[in-house]
Structure 1
């Protein structure tokens, strides 16, 4: 009694100091221990004043209430199911185990109990306490969860329940034989079980899990956990056969227990069937819904598209791709990107407004299906989508709102399947991107033909490097003070067997799109280094400049590629300059800047190409370890027309470079007037058709002015 009271106080104290998620659990355990203390007190008082072994209705009610609160506590633990159906299933598991033990207990123990004793319902309830203990122990095993680390207090509570079950079983056996008397050593077991409950309150709460979703534990339960409520049923059936009396009748207690067991099994199976149906619905939802945005996914979109095509009505597909979304992920992280996608999906759903089915196909790609039930024209729907995606003032300032490009394809005789329709929408979408983004285009036969040619060109490009179709040409970079050519820029050309010589503008964008830019970049670096090593035999100060794509800049193996190329050619690293576009450098991460710093430490030059066309600022010049600025040709071209602003821009960049101790090259010098202007400004180097067109035979070491 005293130990149970102390355990009640300890549980109540734990309820006050534990997190809110555990307060109900410890409060119910405190009530259970308080009821146990009250029951023991009443038992002791009535035994001292009357019956040696009191089995009164009051004592039975108190202990029964303790069983109910203890069971409720287990069902409120952190690892218990969160749904009412799940809790009911766990409770029925315990009830089935308890009821299955009734006929087994009859054969083992109750057969020796007089019928007069069993006629007293209160006394019979006392004899069933071991079954209630095992019911609670079964529930504890079920809620503990085999896929989770067991919380230490649950182990102590399990030990308490097991000890109480053994104690109650021993008590029933001794009572049936008439061998139990107050003061028996068995009486120590119940206080010890309460002591284990009190000890459980001393442990800290479990650590907060990062994933609170029940689906995070994907491992299926072991076979014994699934079979747990059914394992004792076989023993119960055998016990029923053994419990039959000589007259052929089954004892009333056994018969009632079996009927209750069958009812519990029927309800349990009904709940299992309901849960299975619910799980099937959940799996269907997961299979056809995008989990981030809540929109239909690619699988559902394709199913609905096939159904719409079978109905032979008007069908159109809008394919939408967010422009610049990758930069959002790179700059702000995937959490910001996911939040942005969710917000944009909600805007697009509202813009479609029942005039189509919008789905997320994956990544930053969405699609809208317009069928015969829609009254909106696909073009009008595209305009509504673009309008919905326009950034607000706050989003524009934050710089985290991409635009979108939309391709439209309407079903026609040329489409044999949904794949063909999606392909045409994809063709139109890329045409919208090429038109400047934040626009829509409709797929036409001309676009389709162009896309086929483009695909053929990509296929040819895959073979170009291996078959030696690429060539390097070099455009001289002139020292304007002396006219000497000490450097040249390597420019790749594709000698296509059918189309002739193709410039970089014709095939490098395709190479980036098809993932072929890296092998082309590596080939160019190696060939340029070999050429520069040859020049330096006649002009020891000769250098070479090579353009590097933004994709290659982000590669961790860039340093290894460059050092391997210079080492293989026997070229000093200081003789190589890597040219990088201004926009690629501005969007660079800290890892990219560290990589450029390592290249500078090796002696390799870093040139900022097309300077002035991006988002030029003094702050990024401090961050980027550049050695050279190349003034964009658009400013140099305007020097012919006495454009004071162009003159001022070239002069400003030249002085800025001097302040930062950077070399300067004026690109696109094509006339004597432009040459005179950049020379008068004080620009030290120039490059352009005036000094020489790109050529296979480099003019490094010669004088061109």
Structure 2
């Protein structure tokens, strides 16, 4: 059984029947026998050549009909037209033979002219129906004109080459003169085949074989016309075998496999750029035709009527071709303008158009306001449902916002999930009510809540004022306000104020300072002990990073770690903390071998493939056993971890590194992920411990439940944020083994921690 993705047409040649193969071999033997007969000059050569042509053309007709039945619609049309062409060729050969048997040596009758002309029309139509041919009517007409122009240009050239040594009186016979049309039509079809074969890509194999057939026929017709013009052609001439050979190649082309995408090509795929010679192809022989016209003049100075008519027709075709080219250029210019100034997904103006319109409005010195919109949670939509769903969501948002804005402003898509609205001049609606209209338009419609995908946005508003020096300043303020709206809970709008602007500037300056903090040694570590609640002995210490800012003084992690995570600076900070914490632990374990060090690792580090190498390098450089290290990871970071992340954590556990789930209970707290994550301990969040007391039975029950849960999973428990005696008594009574908080020690530098590590700690 064939795979479903393989089309039937793709295997049609392999299923060719025995009769089809026998027919091909028999046709080849007919052509070979005819060639031998004509070259040797055996009796009845004329009749043999005609009968051979009829037999091979008839076989080619049958072969084309049979292959057409097995093809999809586009290829079926192509092969059917070729079958008609071969049938007309066979009919023409039969009529020619009958006329010769009736005593006409060269029977150029009107009926034969009609039959052969019809064959030329159907053959040309077949080429224009091939998969590589243009799909539009304009493209097909242009291709046809290319062939006609090349064919017409051949007439003056052929006149000079073929008839230049023939007396004018010998050309009185119109049959001699119009014999030039045979090679002209051949060259026309050959040109069309070259044009439609497809620019800058491999030519479909049947078209190669058909091209060889056309080339042989063109050579045969040119030789025939030359012999006929000189009155030296005799029926049964060896050149006659070329026509039978051309028919044989058409039939042989039916055995070639169809293209892989024969069921229909992707019309949205970008077409490759054609080489220069294909663009210039219809114009290359025109120069030769002009020279030939000059050489074809008779001694009287007159140009033969056929040459004059051909040149006039050629000029008309060239004019029409140029008109089509100009029309195509205009269409391409319009398309390029749309590509340059409009978003292809939503049809809205793009960033370039928006910026140009904004700059023009500022230049005209009118009142200007900008609303900057960012879709909330769009990345999660792409990750969960795929980019196709994300694109549909963006299209829906664009339609709703376009309807909400109406004539009160210009809406544009700046890129990704970011949109902007420009309000200028004497606006009938202030920007704040317009923002409310936009938020209302993005509210989920009935039924959308159940889909899990519905739009919402955060909007920032900025109005042009004296503080702005350019349109970029205005967009910056709108961006500041938009992030303030996101921080306010999303699906909201904020207007940029001096306070917001000052806060954003301070944030940018702080980020710039943070980039230098690691290199300039501004970071330092403090350690908070984690004690055994039963004995009070220090069992481990958590490394906490501090930033001694040269201007702002000592900054707590809450002041700069969120910025570090948002900018990616958390990675070098985490590496520095890990290295320094391992060195400190190696120092204190000389006096307290049982005390381990705990280091917080950001979620960004979990997704990095060098996590294990980083941990191994830090412990090895410090001379610290991996068993003396605990990595603390937040619940949310672990929940979002992929199978690859979980595999890295398992490898760390195999090395001996401990894994602690920090702030347990504040995230998703799913029991299922406890089965997957190779954790060694849970740290109960300080928010639960802070509520412990006689009047907080729910908090007591929560801590007790987590403790029992940890015991069921064979995990150690650390109660964080223990500050009072009552909290200490509560967590001890519940059964927590370890505690951490100001009750047992504040974060301090390494020397102070070393003083707390007494020999008693080691004994216990």
Task: Verify same fold: TM over 0.5.
Answer: yes
TM-score by length of 1: 0.94
| Contact 2:397–2:455 (8 Å) recurs in 1 | no
Matches within 5 A, 1:533-572: 533-572=586-625
Q: Does 1:186 align with 2:242?
A: no
Conserved 8 A contact 1:404-1:437: yes
Q: Secondary structure at the match of 2:693?
A: helix
**After alignment, is 129-138 or 194-203 more displaced?**
194-203
Q: Are 1:101 and 1:232, in contact at CA under 8 Å, matched by a contact in 2?
A: yes
Q: How many residues align?
A: 704
**In structure 1, C-alpha distance between the alignment counterparts of 2:129 and 2:744, rounded to whole Å:** 84
1:634–1:64: structure 2 CA closer, same or farther, 3 Å change rule?
same
SS at match of 1:580: strand
Q: Please list every run of 5 or more consecutive structure 2 residues that lacks an aligned counterpart in the other structure.
A: 1-53
1:341 and 2:397 are equivalent in the alignment: no
Instruction: Summarize the Cα distance change of 1:465–1:394 in structure 2 as closer, same or farther, 3 Å threshold.
Output: farther
Alpha-carbon separation, structure 2, partners of 1:134 and 1:554 = 63
Partner of 1:302: 355
Establish whether residue 107 from structure 1 lines up as the match of residue 163 from structure 2. no
**Deviation for aligned residue 1:471:** 1.0
The aligned residue for residue 757 of structure 2 is 701
Distance 1:211 1:366 in 2: 34
Question: Against the structure 1 CA distance between its residues 88 and 119, is the aligned structure 2 distance closer, same or farther, given a 3 Å change threshold?
Answer: farther
**Partner secondary structure for residue 343 of structure 2:** coil
Which of 402, 419, 435 is matched with 2:488 structurally? 435
Indicate whether 1:360 and 2:380 are aligned. no
Q: Following superposition of structure 1 onto structure 2, how do residues 236-251 of structure 1 map, counting pairs within 5 Å?
A: 236-251=289-304
Counterpart position of 2:16: none
The reply on whether 1:527 has 2:527 as its aligned counterpart is no
- The Cα of 1:216 is off from its aligned counterpart by 2.6
Is the contact between residue 147 and residue 191 of structure 2 (CA under 8 Å) also seen in structure 1? yes
Residue 376 of structure 1 aligns to a residue whose secondary structure is coil
Matched-pair contact (CA < 8 Å) for 1:530–1:569: yes
In the aligned structure 2, how far is the partner of 1:4 from the partner of 1:374?
A: 77
1:385-464 equivalences under 5 Å are 385-391=438-444, 396=449, 399-401=452-454, 403-464=456-517
**Structure 1 residue aligned with 2:192:** 139
Q: CA offset at residue 172 of structure 1?
A: 0.8
2:147 to 85, 91, 94: 94
1:213 positional shift? 4.5
1:278 pairs with 2:334: no
Contact preservation (8 Å) 1:628, 1:664: yes
Q: TM-score under structure 2 normalisation?
A: 0.87
**Contact map agreement 1:490 1:545 (CA 8 A) in 2:** yes
2:442, 2:457 within 8 Å by CA — same for their partners in 1? Answer: yes
Partners of 1:498 and 1:79 in 2: how far apart? 69
1:691 to 722, 744, 758: 744
For residues 169-193 of structure 1, give each alpha carbon's deviation from its aligned partner in whole angstroms, at most 9, with x where no partner exists: 1111111122222222222211211
Tell me the distance in 2 between the aligned counterparts of 1:205 and 1:619: 53
Q: Aligned residue for 1:56?
A: 109
Cα deviation, residue 560, structure 1: 1.9
Deviation string 1:387-418 (CA, Å, 9 cap, x unpaired) is 34344686655655574321111111222211
Partner of 1:500: 553
Maintained 8 Å contact 1:93/1:139 = yes
Shift of 1:215: 5.7
**In structure 1, distance between residues paired with 2:210 and 2:376:** 58
Deviations 1:124-165 (A, max 9, x none): 554311111111111111111231111111110111111111
Q: Does the C-alpha gap of structure 1 residues 440 and 166 become closer, same or farther in structure 2, counting only changes over 3 Å? A: same
Alignment partner of 2:714: what SS? coil
Query: How far off its partner does 1:558 sit?
Result: 1.9
1:588 partnered with 2:641:
yes
Partner of 2:564: 511
Residue in structure 2 matched with residue 32 of structure 1 by the alignment: 85
- 1:216 paired residue among 262, 270, 277: 270
Deviation of the 1:492 alpha carbon: 0.9
Displacement of 1:19 in angstroms is 2.5
Change (3 A) 1:381 1:121: farther
Mapped to 2, the partners of 1:8 and 1:84 lie a distance apart of 28
Q: Deviation of residue 335 (structure 1)?
A: 4.3
Contact 1:486 1:701 in 2 (8 A): no
User: CA RMSD for the aligned pairs?
Assistant: 2.4
| Superposition deviation, residue 86 in structure 1 | 1.9
How far residue 14 of structure 1 moved from its aligned partner, in angstroms, is 2.3
Shift in Å at residue 596 of structure 1? Answer: 2.2
Distance in structure 2 (CA, Å) of the matches to 1:119 and 1:576: 107
Distance 1:600 1:20, change over 3 A: farther
Structure 1 residues 552 and 281: CA distance shift in structure 2, 3 A: same
Is residue 203 of structure 2 the alignment partner of residue 150 of structure 1? yes
